[in-house]
Structure 1
Amino acid sequence: MQASTYVVKGNLGFEVQNRKGALAGLGGFRNSSPVLFSNLSFVNSNNEKGSSSKVRCGSASVGIGFAKMGIDRVFKSSASSAKYRSVKAQASSGDLEDAVPIKYQGKSSSSVLPYVAVACLGAILFGYHLGVVNGALEYLSADLGIAGNAVLQGWVVSILLAGATVGSFTGGSLADMFGRTKTFQLDAIPLAIGAYLCATAQSVQTMMIGRLLCGIGIGISSALVPLYISEISPTEIRGALGSVNQLFICVGILVALLVGLPLAGNPLWWRTMFGIAIVPSVLLALGMAMCPESPRWLFQQGKIAETEKSIAALFGKERVPEVMNDLRAAVQGSSEPEAGWLDLFSSRYRKVVSVGAALFLFQQLAGINAVVYYSTSVFRSAGITSDVAASALVGASNVLGTAVASSLMDRQGRKSLLTISFSGMAASMLLLSLSFTWEILAPYSGTLAVLGTVLYVL
């Protein structure tokens, strides 16, 4: 007799409860009590049609006669730590055909964290370039001769966002054309050149060109970082890593504000602040040279051998068949045609697009950019001597608020958090405005300004 062993869960006249391995029912024994088991296996004699097979449950075995069966799911036994996934196999003449291999654990989920950390350099640069002008604006304005020109100062600040708009529209297309890692390396070019031009600028025109290039760079990274992280993350930690991009943007803002602390003693320090951004830009390019390409992108390009190599580097060789099956299922399951830009305004998508666009719009109109760019100036006008330090406190609060929101998102729900967040922002802005307009609060304007801003970013 030639025996074959399979690990199964599902529709064989009984049901198996997840995790606890309980046999809930067997064939017609509907009222039978659950039987705990381990190392569940089928032993198939591979004899003539209608042969008998046994289900072994530890020391007990139950004989089941069958000629044709449907097996809906494969699950992990107590000897394996891999998770089960849905499959279907048909058995005729007493045999199981095309049994699906059991999932193996492979590498630890944390094995992708170094690659995620490299990608997050793009998010840090995004936040850094947003916040670096906060403390440096007054000093660079004096150095470049635009101290009294609010319009040019505004252009120096806002041209970054103009470049980011261009970059965000092109980032996805570049990633699809060249791949994720190569696009990261290309993105490092405008980021590094822009930072160098800002650090060495002798005129406001050079400064604006540098800021524009930096904006294009951070715009590309804003589309690329979350895309790459989601495509290389194992499913078991993909949700946790989903908020990493926003968290590291806030970390970048905080670093920019902390780097501005020496400005009071060294007015030319602003050049060093912009020049520091060259370092992570170079590290991003070098780091991506050692990071595996996205398996999903490689699979879409038909590069099967390279896809398997990337999967092995990310998750371990044991999980290559499993992830390849997932990629094939994803491609086969995406039968719905892609929506174009004009389709976003159709009745099918109108409600979702309107809600999403309104959230982003009101978030920006709520004034977060004014806080990121001008909090130092606001605190200075409120009479706070350590204005840059106060801005650093705001940056730390921003990181803290993001971390707390990320941890509460799945437990409290998105809608309730948004309602509380926008209400708190409105109350904080009201407190900040009253501290400057009510004479009775004038003696406390500095403290209230910092308090209102900290509560706002939280």
Structure 2
Amino acid sequence: MRGRHVDASSMYKRGALRNYINAYDEEGSSVHFLNGKDIGNPPWRRSLPHVLVATLSSFLAGYHLGVINETLEGISLDLGFSGDTLAEGLVVSTCLGGAFAGSLFSGWIVDGVGCRRAFQFCALPMIIGASMSATTKSLWGMLLGRLFVGTGMGLGPSVAALYVAEVSPAFVRGTFGSFTQIATCLGLMGALFIGLPAKEIVGWWRICFWVSAIPAALLALSIEFCAESPHWLLKRGRGVEAEAEFEKILGGLHVKSAMAELSMSDRGDDTDTIKFSELFFGRHFKVVFTGSTLFALQQLSGINAVFYFSSTVFKSFGIPSDIANICVGIANLLGSVIAMSLMDKLGRKVLLLGSFSGMALSMGLQVIAASSFSSGSGALYLSVGGMLLSVLTFALGAGPVPGLLLSEIFPGRIRAKAMAVCMAMHWVMNFVVGLFFLSLLEQIGAVVLYTIFAAFCLLAVFFVKTNVLETKGKSLQEIEIALLPPELR
């Protein structure tokens, strides 16, 4: 059976890697040696510029998610579908449909052309889609533009999670992985501030779309000067180029140890031979199931109901929507910055457990606010406080960790395609929650609905505790070996 044969060479590699894992110190930091001398960790400053360029794709995803909030009214008036809720819903959801398609094919694109070209494939539809949206005279032109943009949105974050994990030194991979979430927050807030004049200035919404073409073009150009993933190069049999890229991102002292460690992992068959069914059957089922479930629980926690409809709740208490959006944006950014500082100290699992627990508490506050036990100013404080706490705690773990964690736990051979499947689950659940939230709120009421969200948060706590492996400080190869079935180690 494919992948089950274990020869002496692979057994030697795995034994050598187990010895390497045992070289970890008590705090989980990797020990690096060259000719018997400890050379410490690679300089993180070398890989930082490459990571920052990659996070432009996450910034764009956040921007295009948020750009429609302040501009939808102006768009509907200019394009002649004002008051048509179906058309307005399509302008929002078409982007999510494109994101689903982009994320689903992202793994095959990355495995085929590498991360750098994949980023350019992400930027191109965003430039085309933004230009179409900015110049259109009809609803159909807007929908087509949003579809193009969505394709890039789905592709970009998947590739960014992979790329950041594969070019970052292990001891700062959590911190660097948090940059994607911070970039998404900045994109959302940037869209909010740029969109503020849209209700006052006729046609300003077109400027909002044109602006987004600038970071997309910057991504397409800047990535040409960045390193390709050494993992991808080695899988393609281009070892010399992989060494050169490791030197760019780690420095010359760490090239040999990085190449030796990467070569220890069982690369398996050529990535082009991977079948879709392999992700759901056999030895990879558990990690793919874990990843898909984690993304599903992330969305079922109710966070997007908070993001999409917080303005409505704030308005019901007489708080203007722009102030509401600013408060939500600040809470999201603050939580993401805190997560960045804690990711490589506390670890991924601890942040996930604390995040989902905090979200369960915040949903409990929403339940109390919506019940008959509170009224007036008490309901206001509980509802608004619960919403902001939900956003803050989400950004501490449930937001940034899943994408980073999954790029770490998936074996190199299936990493890109497995990430694609899990990110597709993310966009599907995102769409479902956004589509049915308001109708469920009307049919079963806020108390029951927020109780359901709280239950999913508690379920997520249990799932994380029993299924998630801590990856703090470990190399991707060590994580891969740790997750192999015992008979294959």
| TM value normalised by structure 2 | 0.65
Counterpart AA for 2:246: I
* Aligned-partner Cα distance in 1 for 2:378–2:41: 59
Q: Is contact 2:73-2:199 (8 Å) kept?
A: no
**Which residue number in structure 1 is paired with residue 98 of structure 2?**
163
**Which residue number in structure 2 is paired with residue 233 of structure 1?**
168
Q: Indicate the percent of aligned positions where both proteins have the same amino acid.
A: 39
Q: 1:146 aligns with which of 75, 81, 102?
A: 81
Q: From the superposition, tell whether residues 360 and 192 of structure 1 become closer, same or farther in structure 2 (CA, over 3 Å).
A: same
Q: From the superposition, tell whether residues 112 and 345 of structure 1 become closer, same or farther in structure 2 (CA, over 3 Å).
A: closer
Greater Rg by CA: 1
**What pairs with 1:290-305 in structure 2 (closer than 5 Å)?**
290-305=225-240
- Name which of structure 1's ranges 358-367 and 192-201 shifts more when overlaid on structure 2: 358-367
Counterpart AA for 2:183: F
Counterpart AA for 1:396: I
Q: 1:248 aligns with which of 183, 187, 192?
A: 183
Q: 1:404 aligns with which of 331, 338, 342?
A: 338
- Name which of structure 1's ranges 400-409 and 202-211 shifts more when overlaid on structure 2: 400-409
Q: 2:32 aligns with which of 65, 71, 84?
A: 84
Counterpart AA for 2:330: A
- Name which of structure 1's ranges 306-315 and 269-278 shifts more when overlaid on structure 2: 306-315
The CA RMSD measured in Å over matched residues stands at 3.5
Return the offset for 1:192: 0.8
Say yes or no: does 1:394 pair with 2:328: yes
State the SS of the aligned residue for 2:55. helix
* Aligned-partner Cα distance in 2 for 1:148–1:120: 37
Q: 1:316 aligns with which of 231, 251, 259?
A: 251
Q: From the superposition, tell whether residues 418 and 320 of structure 1 become closer, same or farther in structure 2 (CA, over 3 Å).
A: closer
Q: Is contact 2:33-2:39 (8 Å) kept?
A: no
Q: Is contact 2:102-2:152 (8 Å) kept?
A: yes
- Name which of structure 1's ranges 391-400 and 345-354 shifts more when overlaid on structure 2: 345-354
Q: Is contact 1:105-1:318 (8 Å) kept?
A: no
Q: Is contact 1:390-1:450 (8 Å) kept?
A: no
**What pairs with 1:31-42 in structure 2 (closer than 5 Å)?**
none
**What pairs with 1:143-222 in structure 2 (closer than 5 Å)?**
143-222=78-157
**Which residue number in structure 1 is paired with residue 387 of structure 2?**
453
Q: Is contact 1:298-1:307 (8 Å) kept?
A: yes
Return the offset for 1:394: 0.3
Q: Is contact 2:121-2:152 (8 Å) kept?
A: no
Q: Is contact 2:194-2:208 (8 Å) kept?
A: yes
Q: From the superposition, tell whether residues 352 and 305 of structure 1 become closer, same or farther in structure 2 (CA, over 3 Å).
A: closer
1:157-198 CA distance string (max 9 Å, x none): 111111111111111211121121122122211011111122
Q: Is contact 1:105-1:319 (8 Å) kept?
A: no
Q: Is contact 1:256-1:273 (8 Å) kept?
A: yes
Q: Is contact 1:187-1:221 (8 Å) kept?
A: yes
* Aligned-partner Cα distance in 2 for 1:397–1:378: 16
Return the offset for 1:337: 9.8
**What pairs with 1:438-449 in structure 2 (closer than 5 Å)?**
441=375, 449=383
More relative contact order, 1 or 2 (CA 8 Å, 6+ apart): 2
* Aligned-partner Cα distance in 1 for 2:225–2:88: 40
Counterpart AA for 2:71: A
1:70-129 CA distance string (max 9 Å, x none): x999x9xxxxxx94349xxxxxxxxxxxxx575757973211111111111011111111
Say yes or no: does 1:127 pair with 2:75: no
**Which residue number in structure 1 is paired with residue 220 of structure 2?**
285
Say yes or no: does 1:384 pair with 2:332: no
Return the offset for 1:396: 1.3
* Aligned-partner Cα distance in 2 for 1:229–1:324: 18
Return the offset for 1:284: 0.1
Q: Is contact 1:136-1:260 (8 Å) kept?
A: yes
Counterpart AA for 1:371: V
Structure 1 or 2: more strand by fraction: 1
State the SS of the aligned residue for 1:298. helix
Q: Is contact 1:106-1:318 (8 Å) kept?
A: no
Return the offset for 1:390: 1.8
Counterpart AA for 1:239: G
Q: Is contact 1:126-1:252 (8 Å) kept?
A: yes
Return the offset for 1:340: 4.9
* Aligned-partner Cα distance in 2 for 1:355–1:72: 26
* Aligned-partner Cα distance in 2 for 1:72–1:438: 60
* Aligned-partner Cα distance in 2 for 1:439–1:193: 52
| Corresponding pairs, count | 366
**Which residue number in structure 2 is paired with residue 12 of structure 1?**
none
- Name which of structure 1's ranges 409-418 and 314-323 shifts more when overlaid on structure 2: 409-418
Return the offset for 1:313: 2.3
* Aligned-partner Cα distance in 2 for 1:306–1:346: 34
* Aligned-partner Cα distance in 2 for 1:322–1:425: 42
Counterpart AA for 1:142: L
Return the offset for 1:417: 4.6
State the SS of the aligned residue for 1:243. helix
1:217-250 CA distance string (max 9 Å, x none): 0111121101111221123322332332223222
- Unmatched tracts of structure 1, length 5 or more: 1-70, 76-81, 87-99
Q: From the superposition, tell whether residues 413 and 111 of structure 1 become closer, same or farther in structure 2 (CA, over 3 Å).
A: closer
